[in-house]
Homo-oligomer: A and B are copies of this chain.
Amino acid sequence: MVKLKDDKKITQIFQAALKLVAKKGLSGMTMGDISKEAGIATGTLYVYFTSKDELINALFAACRESSVQVSFKGYQPHTPFKPGFRHIWLNILRYKLQNFEESVFMEQCYHSPFITADTREKAQQLSAPFYQLIERGKKEQLIKNIDTGLLITFMIGTMNELVKQTHYSGITLNRSRVNTTFDLCWDALKA
This chain: copies in complex: 2
Instruction: Tell whether A79 is near chain B: CB-to-CB under 8 Å.
Output: no
The 8 Å CB contact of A27, one of B22, B25, B146, is B25
Q: Taking CB as reference atom, which chain B residue is nearest A160?
A: B157
Which of A40-48, A67-75, A128-136, A178-186 is the interface stretch?
A178-186
Tell me the count of chain A residues lying within 8 A, CB to CB, of chain B.
Answer: 41
Binding site for B on A (CB under 8 A): 21-28, 104, 107-108, 110-114, 144, 146-147, 149-150, 153-154, 156-158, 160-162, 164-165, 169, 171, 180-181, 184-185, 187-190
Q: Are A22 and B188 in contact (CB under 8 A)?
A: no
Q: Are A112 and B28 in contact (CB under 8 A)?
A: yes
Contacts of A112 in B (CB 8 A): 24-28
Q: Taking CB as reference atom, which chain B residue is nearest A161?
A: B157
26 A/B residue pairs, CB under 8 Å, sorted by A: A22-B111, A24-B111, A25-B26, A25-B108, A25-B113, A25-B114, A26-B112, A27-B108, A28-B114, A108-B108, A110-B164, A146-B181, A147-B171, A149-B165, A149-B169, A150-B165, A153-B161, A154-B161, A157-B157, A157-B160, A157-B164, A158-B158, A160-B161, A184-B189, A187-B187, A187-B188
